[in-house]
Amino acid sequence: MTENFERVALIGLGLIGSSLAHAIRQRKIAGHISGYARSEATRRKAAELKLADSIHQSAADAVRDADLVILCSPVGTYGALAQGIAPALKPGAILTDVGSVKAAVVRDVLPHLPQGVSFIPGHPIAGTEQSGPESGFAELFINRWCILTPLPDADPSAVEKLVKFWQDCGSNVEIMTPEHHDLVLAITSHLPHLIAYNIVSTAADLEEVTDSEVIKYSAGGFRDFTRIAASDPTMWRDVFLNNKEAVLEMLGRFSEDLSALQRAIRWGDGDMLFNLFSRSREIRRSIIAAGQDTAAPNFGRGVPKTQ
Ligand code: NAP
């Protein structure tokens, strides 16, 4: 693989930033990786793990001379970061991000964008519930989708370079508008996280069932929600604050469907329940057929040796 960029700057070195660092290194996508992390602890860990060739205390120093700059911190930080790095961005550089919402990122970053810099928002649909610089791995993006949401006046050659960057990381790339991205992700990612956070909190607040019973019998289904609900609280706070409309729209539809299920249970409408559960099973099969999960039983965890 030929080096696509001379210098790539990663702003934020958590799960996504460190995974990008590993992928860029392993696949020789850039000559030099410069990294910025906010805390001394993360900078020290990143140096220990050799995530970047240079690690900086200031985001502006990290982006100097970079031809690709990737914002990899929570979306609520992008406005201030863009303002801080704007004077140091190289003319001709591409600025992108990995944030889980897109319209709000355009709103926050665009006002600070200097002339001659291409801003192409992006979102790799790949992640785990882990966070921090130790949690990254080079294979995270392989066979996952990365959505780019270039603005109508985006430079086509810059978009092409960024598409190639993500393909080099192992991803498939799709292009759509920021608004459409936010609607799609509201149902495929944001609402599932909200439901998981809510069910875990409902269980924790129950008085008739003790916390130790909830944990002891969690293999009945609850456990799988707790994995999603263990995701980074700052990241998810920022997602809900910045994709308000689409999430509220999907939550409205979800609540209506939940009421229909409630009615079916109350009136003993077994056909309705059976048909809905059968349709859901088909969706799971389609996800496996599309290579977005494995068909291994028990989510691939295997059977525990001791009960
Ligand atoms: P993470 O592991 O928690 O890492 C976040 C990074 O951002 C850390 O380096 C942290 O620095 C830094 N940071 C936090 N607050 C900051 C601030 N105010 N100023 C500057 N830097 C700050 O998070 P992540 O999972 O990599 O998520 C990063 C981005 O990727 C988010 O925008 C998220 O929406 C997006 N994303 C996440 C996933 C996922 O599944 N996790 C998937 C796709 C996209 P310190 O370590 O120094 O605190």
Distances (CA, A) of 126 to 50, 100, 129, 252: 22, 10, 11, 26
Residues 55 and 35: their CA atoms lie apart, in Å, by 5
Given this model, what pLDDT does residue 89 score? 98
Ligand 1 centroid to residue 9 C-alpha, Å: 15
Task: Report d(CA 162, CA 208) in Å as an integer.
Answer: 54
Q: Is 121 in the pocket of ligand 1 (CB under 6 A)?
A: no
Same domain, 37 and 140: yes
| Protein residue whose Cα sits closest to atom 28 of ligand 1 | 73
Between the CA of 232 and the centroid of ligand 1 the distance, in Å, is: 8
Q: Residue 56: which CATH number?
A: 3.40.50.720
* In a shared domain, residues 30 and 66: yes
In a domain, 305, yes or no: no
Rg (CA), the chain: 21
Same domain for 282 and 165: no
Q: Is 122 in the pocket of ligand 1 (CB under 6 A)?
A: no
- 43 with 170, same domain: the answer is yes
DSSP code, position 52: -
> Mean pLDDT, to the nearest integer, of 125-143?
96
CB 175 within 8 A of CB 147: yes
**170 and 25 belong to one structural domain:** yes
In a domain, 45, yes or no: yes
pLDDT at 2: 57
The answer to whether residues 8 and 33 touch, using CB atoms and an 8 Å cutoff, is yes
Ligand 1 pocket mutation pick from 40, 49, 73 by most atoms within 8 angstroms of CB? 73
Last-in-domain residue among 148, 176, 204: 176
Task: Judge if 118 and 247 occupy the same domain.
Answer: no
> Are 172 and 184 contained in the same domain?
no
Looking at the fold, whether 234 and 161 belong to one and the same domain comes out as: no
Please tell me the residue having the least CA distance from ligand 1 atom 1: 14
pLDDT at position 197, please? Answer: 96
Does residue 19 belong to any structural domain of this protein?
Answer: yes
Residue of 4 and 137 predicted with greater confidence: 137
Question: Does the structure show a pLDDT above 70 at 77?
Answer: yes
Whole-structure pTM value: 0.93
Tell me, yes or no, whether 222 lies in a domain: yes
The span from the CA of 81 to the CA of 65, in Å, is: 17
Q: Is 158 in the same domain as 57?
A: yes
Distance CA 119, CA 23 (A): 22
Contact 23, 8 (CB under 8 A): no
Residue 151 included in any domain: yes
**Phi and psi of 121, rounded to 5°?**
-65, 150
| Inside any domain, residue 306 | no
pLDDT per position as a tens digit, 86-102: 999 999 999 999 999 99
- 302 lies in some domain: no
- Please work out, in degrees rounded to the nearest 5, the angle formed at the alpha carbon of residue 127 by the alpha carbons of 126 and 129: 160
Residues 205 and 278 in one domain: yes
207 with 275, same domain: the answer is yes
CATH number at residue 258: 1.10.3660.10
Ligand 1 atom at minimal distance to the Cα of residue 16: 26
pLDDT band with cut points at 50, 70 and 90 for residue 305: very low
Instruction: Indicate whether 303 pLDDT > 90.
Output: no
Residue 209 pLDDT class (50, 70, 90 cuts)? confident
Query: What are φ and ψ of residue 304, in 5° steps?
Result: -65, 145
Same domain for 121 and 142: yes
Q: Give the model's pLDDT for residue 297.
A: 73
- 100 pocket-lining for ligand 1 (C-beta < 6 Å): yes
Q: Give the pLDDT confidence of 238-257 residue by residue, as tens digits.
A: 999 999 999 999 999 999 99
List Cα–Cα distances, 278 to 29, 269, 285, 287, in angstroms.
45, 15, 11, 15
What mean pLDDT is reported for the chain?
94
Regarding the beta carbon of 132 and ligand 1, being less than 6 Å apart is answered yes
What is the domain range of residue 225? 180-289
Q: Is residue 166 part of a domain?
A: yes
Q: What is the domain count for the chain? A: 2
